[in-house]
Amino acid sequence: MSQLHKKFTTEQVKDLLQRYMDKKIERKYIQEILSIKKVRFFALLKNFKDNPDSFSIDYSRRSPKRIPQEVEKNIIKELKIDKGIIESKTNPTDSYNYSYIKDRLEDRYHQKVSLPTIINRAKQFDFYLPKKAKKKPTTVKWSPIMSVN
């Protein structure tokens, strides 16, 4: 579905719909301009006809996307445990295993959290280690001296 609120203002869409109602422009051209299909067009048109003054294409999230405070505390707690393991000189580990943290949250606390949320919290609270650049293998160019007879 096309996100009209990012491409057009409410006034622009109102103008196009008004032109359609005044029979100045055909539906298919408006659909092309707005990059929407027929069903979406008629849904917008119905909303515009019902409430022309309060018509808006602005998007607002119905509920804020927040994780509970308890879940966030547990994420930080598990990241601290991993940080202790990483900083320990006796372990060869040098990176966080975010998938393992996700599994631990599910097993220990019965809390389901997405992996990007865990990574975002790691970055936010300074538990993030960027991936190390891998060394490129050195290639040996072939030369006639190297050939075996």
Phi-psi region of 99 (alpha: psi -120 to 50; beta: other; left: phi over 0): alpha
- What is the per-residue burial (b if ≥16 Cβ within 10 Å, else e) of 78-92? bbeebbeeeeeeeee
Is residue 110 within 8 A of residue 73, CB to CB? The reply is no
pLDDT, tens digit, 9 for 90 and up, residues 53-95: 999 998 877 776 788 999 999 999 999 998 888 888 787 777 7
Which pTM was predicted?
Answer: 0.51
Residue with tokens 């301009």: 33
- Tokens standing for residue 5: 């609120």
Question: Who has greater pLDDT, 131 or 66?
Answer: 66
Residue 136: count of CB within 10 angstroms of its CB: 6
8 Å CB contact between 76 and 31: no
